[in-house]
Amino acid sequence: MKTDRRNFIKGLGGALTLPFLESTAFAGQKSATRFLVVGNPFGMHPEHFFPKDFGKDFTVSRTLKSLDWVKDRTTVLSHTDHNMVSGHGREVAFLSGVLPTDAQAFPEKNMSVDQAVARHTGAQVRYPSLNVGLNSGVRMSWTANGVENELITDPEKLFDHLFLNLTEKEKEQRRQMLSRNGSILDTVGDQFADVIKNGSKSDAERIDQYQTSVRELEATLANRTHWIGLDKPEFDISDHYSGEVTIENEYNAIFDMISFAFETDLTRVATVAFPTNLGYTDVPGVTRSYHGCTHNGKMEDVTDELVAIESFQVQQLSRCMQKLDSIPEPNAEGSMLDHTVVLFGSGMGYGGTHSNRDLPIFVAGGGFKHLGHVDTRNDAGENMPLCNLYLTLMQRFGMERDEFNISTGAFDLSYA
Amino acid sequence: MRKFQSTAKNPILMGVGLNRVRSVIVPCWVMMSTLFGPVGMADQALMKEHCFDCHSADKTKGKFELSFLGDGPDVDNLERWLDCLDLVTAEEMPPEDDSHLAAPDREKIIAYLDEKVRAFEKSANLTSSPKPRRLNNREFANGVRDVLLLEDIGTNLPMDNLIGDALHHGFDTHGDTLSFSRFHLEQYVEAVRKVVDATVFSGERPESKRYEIPAERIFRQQLSQNNSRAIEKGENGVFDFLDPKLAGYFPDFEEAPASGRYSIKISCMGKDRGIYDVEETGYYHDDPVQLSVHMGDRVKTFDLPDEKVIELELDEWIDAGTRVEMHFPTDAYTIRGNGNFKFQYGITPTHLKKYDPERYDELVSAIEKSPGRNKRKRIDTWHNWTDYWMGARPQVFSVEIEGPLYEAWPPKRQVALLGDSPVAANAADILRPIANRAWRRPVKDGELEKIVDMVKEEAKTMGDIVALKEGIVAVLVSPAFLMANLEANEPASRFASKLSFFLESTIPDQELRDEVGAGKLDSFEAVQKLIQSEIEKGTADTFLREFPFAWLELNDINFMGPDPEHYRFYHKKRLSEDMVDEVLEFFRYAVTENRPVPELLSADYSFINADLAKIYGVEDVPGDSKFRRYTFKDGRRGGLLGMGAFLTSTADSLATSPIHRAVYVMENMMGIHPTPPPPNVVIKEPDVRKASTIKEILAAHVSDENCASCHEAIDPWGYAFENFDPTGAWRDVYVVPVILETDENGDPIPSKKKDVTIPIDSSAKFRNGFKYQDITEFRNEILTDTNRDRFVKCFIEKLLTYANGAEPEESDFVAIDDILTKSAEHDYRIVETIAAVVNSPLFRGK
């Protein structure tokens, strides 16, 4: 299944000139700007995922081999969890720590961390977030209303979504809707303006809040009308389909489109969800099903297949990170990777034991002062809630908050 | 960004949301001598004699100095005065151990403090007036429904995109917490447009069609990650509900093609009820088999007869794009394994071996002969028994859907809204009554002008109907609709609105507005009658549900739920839902029967079903899921303080905390707001793996004198409940649990390790000398006159918070006391107490 990798990627780096940047960039921004999340459904074989030693100079484990190049910009977290009972089905809480069935107990329901960040960064770009899978994907991205985000599960559809322009008729319809909303705001915006002017004490404050909202919304309507008129950046996908269709090629296409969408500022938040039911047999050495490999009864050959699948997943991400690292961040020091928070993990610890403790998690890039391999347990030997890490990541985006679902504090990861 | 209110879970955060700033006060006792006029001289000396030893600049126990009371009550120190009054009245100050204040002297001090506070409030005229607030999502949805004269907002989930409301100590009506942003505004526009689009049509009448759906065309929803599996569907004329998590849907009727009435007929029956043991299935034999029809978020549930086919008939307005599904509503079939349905198949061999060994042998040999079975597994493992399920369940044989049907075109509800002549030229006349409802007041001259102009302008390009719809959207996203308690409104409009949002969470109807306008609700008696009749008619049901839910912070019940490995029953039978229902049933009973407010605490009864009976350790209840009144004979339970909802939501997952429970009781029952510990205090987390009791852990903490003075006041409110474990079940000893490993089926693997047990000490002593040995004594004696008044006052304050969208201020003390007096005149009856709140200036406004 080996294809000529060089030929495959050519369409991107070489052929393209400096990409057109969609939004008005981020000059002087100190926070992280982008968020890339990759998740899988069955966790990771722990002995091969977690490095044997701790600290900055840790020995890269077998599954994480492809991250060797970026080891000093990576933090692998041992002993985190969401305090979930064992078994499948809890992995849907990967990015929130809250099961859909418990969502009502939380004001932000089971909103996942990617969506929390997207709400913070999304207003400035065409797409607040991008949620991608292949064939399908583990369910992990949920809105503040506890609604699952629909995945784009086909690279071609992803291409259409990101890069295909609307027809003139469609553009016209969108424009009309935005203009209708504009007219409505126009008629209601200054109801009670006299109340504010005449200073009726307690009304004024809340009505002012309303009017501010009207003004802000009007501004974004104008902004969005602007997006409709603008053509999207051009992306040449043809090379990605010139070779054999393997899952590696498809993931290459997906990750290339994501990094290009980052580069052109189409979006600042992307999630890639690995599915349960994908045939990994074109990965060298893999003959069994993914789920089957997790129940390996500790047989070495089956375990090797599982590790091959898991390493493949990490490789795809590593390749994308390499790409981001080759692009200088516009208007700032460092590469795009240094401004992109990368999160990899699963809401399941390890499929073989159905354990949902000790989740396999690493964070890379994002300008953090990375710690290598960390044991996150406290003095009492208890695992750290994974939400603590999410809180830290949100703070990295300049979000002023000190709690996220079941967090008990922030994970200590500083940045320059 | 909205933040989660962690309330009592984190002691550091306790009370932070109360905005009670302890201000810096003149630090000099000497000033006191100049402060009190001749009236107070004697009492001042009394206070100095009894308080100064502990509350001077040298020794500020409880972080309080007498000098904090300053030059008589003022805006800044009023709370101090009220705290003193409360503590001296409750005989908690001076503490019994340190001082002997004779009763007449205590009376003198109380009278003095009370008089000072009242005099100050009278002169300062501080009665607060709550700010307007955004409608919360419930009120918004109900309001849109009633403005548009609809039965409900529609089945196409028009409100689904709204940002969830944040809560403030359980309240979703809290003005400062209900934020407003451009996101909200945009989502309101979208949501209203969606409802209006499904209400007003501009096109041709859609064709009606009949869909005849045999069992073979009913598909089982795939919820698994594995979507390559073949789609499961009905076979041999039967669609069988096995896993209750899976719904049946119709590929031939994926969603309603157009909004309109649909006739739905379902041929179905209940199957196999009462065969398996309840202990195995969690399904009570006396619970009928049910089938629910889901149309978007509208759910209709039916009891099915056993083994007898019936035809259910539904006639429903369903909106375009709505998915119709059938569900089997039950909390059963989760007992085995990790709760996934497949493990329940293993019940069949257990059952047959016990009751029908012949059949068991027969099936075993059939299974052994069948090809493809995994022979390495035990014969009784669930894989082998998937074809022989005999659990109670619904079966559906066929479904018939017909629609959309209309009694006229355009439909009646459209004509009701737009009249006979829906043209832009009539925009003002069409929109005025809509705006009158939406804005809860008469529309002022010129107020609709801009919207009418917009409609006329838009009509030129979009046509009359579409333009009128835009006009309706504008009316419903204007601040006059979205904001409650606007001062700019006339007092009558404001009161009618407030009353309607209080009882029904929606806009007032014309009748109520007329009555208020005519002055017919100006008296306590009239308000009492109205509330009574709303309760009887069922129109106050929203209040009966939403108020206790907010007050008792029921939303938090699973915030830190009991540990799922150790308290499996709680999770498997979804006990938290039963616990919430228990509170709501109890509260509804208390209000409809108009019981006295203190009975909410003192009652020896509650409302329980078979699942709760299991947690509460009582056996003489029928075996089903229905809630019935039950009187507890052991003196341990009954009323709000014996309920799982309170005991669970105040516990951690493996351990209980007397502090969390104490703070809950103080804040939500007694209206006392304990001062949060200083930020530098490090509180050791209880460690359930070690053999030490919470009392020992706290003893170490409390050995610090600074901590001790507060904990003396807090802890006795919590120790009484130590005999209740994290699920609210009774325990005589602490158990340090051994958590079992689980096997591949998710079943626990037996282990020889034994749980360690430690005796429980649930006794404590209040500062006023009241001691109790255990929960029974606590319950018998806690409701002194002082604590009864505290509780009723707290109930009043919570009602005001719910109604006003803001907590009452210290300066509302006198007005609240007046409500208490009114309540007492009526033996604290709930309805009269609520009426006194509504009739108070704190509700009506100045």
Interface predicted TM-score (ipTM) of this complex, two decimals: 0.76
Is B478 among the domain residues? yes
Q: Is residue B836 part of a domain?
A: no
CB pairs under 8 A between A and B: 164
Buried b (16+ CB within 10 A) or exposed e, B561-584: bbbbbbbbbbbbbebbebbbbbbb
Q: Do A131 and B585 meet the contact criterion of CB atoms below 8 Å apart?
A: no
Residues A172 and A189 in one domain: yes
The A residues from 319 to 358 touching B (CB cutoff 8 Å) are: 354
Which B positions 479-538 lie with beta carbon below 8 A of chain A? 479-480, 482-483, 486-488
Same structural domain for residues B609 and B717?
yes
Angle at B832 between CA B826 and CA B833, to 5 degrees: 95
Task: Domain count for chain B, please give it.
Answer: 4
More confident residue, A6 or B623: B623
The residue in chain A having the minimum alpha-carbon distance to the alpha carbon of residue B654 is A83
Residue B764 — φ and ψ, nearest 5°?
-165, 170
- Asked whether residue B140 falls in the same domain as residue B168, the answer is yes
**Whole-angstrom distance, CA of residue A336 vs CA of residue B823:** 67
Spatial CA neighbour of A258 closest among A94, A35, A67: A35
Establish if A110 touches chain B: CB-CB under 8 angstroms: no
Q: Is the pLDDT of residue A285 over 90?
A: no
**Collapsed DSSP state (helix, strand, coil) of residue B326:** strand
A154, A31: one domain: yes
pLDDT at B754: 75
- Cα distances from B33 to residues B52, B58, B68, B120, in angstroms, run 13, 18, 14, 19
Contact between B653 and B726 (Cβ < 8 Å): yes
Beta carbons within 8 Å of B315's beta carbon, 6+ residues apart: B261, B262, B263, B264
Instruction: Categorize the per-residue pLDDT at A147 as very low, low, confident or very high, splitting at 50, 70 and 90.
Output: low
Specify whether B247 is located in the same domain as B335: yes
- Asked whether residue A287 falls in the same domain as residue A179, the answer is no
| Per-residue pLDDT at B7 exceeds 70 | no
On whether both A279 and A209 belong to a single domain, the answer is no
Whether B259 and B190 map to the same domain: the answer is no
CB-CB neighbors (< 8 A) of B4 in chain A: 106-108, 403-405
Angstrom distances, CA of residue B362 to CA of B380, B388, B425: 13, 12, 81
φ and ψ at A334, to 5 degrees? 85, 180
CA A245/CA A243 separation, integer angstroms: 6
Q: Answer whether residue B171 shows pLDDT above 90.
A: yes
Domain of residue A267 covers 5-164+236-396
pLDDT tens, position by position, B323-362: 999 999 999 999 988 788 989 999 999 999 999 999 999 9
State the DSSP code for B171.
B
B160 and B99 housed in the same domain: no
Considering the domain architecture, whether residues A171 and A259 belong to the same structural domain is answered as no
Mean pLDDT of chain B: 86
Number of domains in chain A: 2
Tokens of B179: 């934020």
pLDDT digits (tens, 9 = 90+) for B62-75: 778 888 888 788 88
In chain A, residues with a C-beta closer than 8 Å to the C-beta of B746 are 86-87, 354
- Is residue A407 situated within a structural domain? no
Range of the domain at B747: 550-593+599-782
CB B366 within 8 A of CB B231: no
Instruction: Say which CATH number the domain at B342 has.
Output: 2.60.120
Given B164, B185, B571, which is nearest A145 (Cβ)? B164
Say whether B164 and A107 touch across the interface (CB within 8 A).
Answer: yes
Query: Looking at the structure, do residues A123 and A248 belong to the same domain, yes or no?
Result: yes
- Residues A51, A76: one domain? yes
Q: Based on the domain organization, do B20 and B82 belong to the same domain?
A: yes
What secondary structure letter does DSSP report for B216? G
Nearest alpha-carbon partner for B555 in B527, B534, B583 = B583
Q: Identify whether residues A216 and A339 lie together within a single domain.
A: no
Domain presence at residue A211: yes
B296 or A192, which is more confident: B296
Grouping H, G, I as helix, E, B as strand and the rest as coil, residue B446 is: coil
Task: Give the alpha-carbon dihedral of B798, B804, B809, B813, to 10 degrees.
Answer: -70
| pLDDT at residue A334 is higher than 50 | yes
pLDDT single digits (tens) B765-805: 998 889 999 999 999 999 999 999 999 999 999 999 999 99
Nearest CA in chain B to A217: B182
Residues A224 and A141 in one domain: no
Given A188, A204, A230, which residue is the final one in a domain? A230
Per cent of chain B over pLDDT 90 is: 61
Same domain for A157 and A291, yes or no, is yes
Does one domain contain both B120 and B140?
no
Last residue in a domain, options B371, B405, B439: B405
Cβ separation of A107 and B166 shorter than 8 Å? yes
Q: Is A203 in CB contact (< 8 Å) with chain B?
A: yes
Residue corresponding to tokens 């209940």: B270
Would you call A175 an interface residue with chain B, using a CB distance cutoff of 8 Å?
Answer: no
pLDDT at B205: 95
Q: Please, what is the average pLDDT of chain A?
A: 84
Highest mean pLDDT among A82-86, A128-132, A174-178: A128-132
Closest to A349 (Cα-Cα) out of A101, A49, A61, A139: A49
Are residues B472 and B365 part of one domain?
Answer: no
3-state secondary structure of A325: helix
Q: What would the two tokens of residue A245 be?
A: 């269709």
Residues B192/B144, Cβ–Cβ less than 8 Å:
yes
Distance CA B609, CA B614 (A): 9
Residue B90 pLDDT exceeds 80: yes
Instruction: Give whole-number Cα distances, A223 to A217, A226, A227, B182, in Å.
Output: 10, 5, 7, 14
Q: Which of B699, B701, B710, B615 lies closest to B662, judged by CA?
A: B710
B221 and B298 co-located in one domain:
yes
Q: Do B340 and A401 touch (CB under 8 A)?
A: no
Q: What's the rounded mean pLDDT across residues A149-155?
A: 85
Residue B486: φ, ψ to 5°: -70, 130
Instruction: Answer yes or no: do A121 and A65 share one domain.
Output: yes
State the average pLDDT over residues A245-265.
90
Tokens standing for B423? 């043209």
What the block records as the tokens of B36 is 């009190």
Taking the C-alpha atoms of residue B322 and residue B403, their distance in angstroms, rounded to an integer, is: 13
Establish how many alpha carbons lie within 13 A of residue A79's alpha carbon, considering only the half-sphere containing its beta carbon: 14
Does pLDDT of B227 surpass 60?
Answer: no
Q: How far apart are CA A310 and CA A50, in angstroms?
A: 12
Q: Do A184 and B473 touch (CB under 8 A)?
A: yes
Is residue B196 domain-shared with residue B179, that is, in the same domain?
Answer: yes
Residue type, A179: S
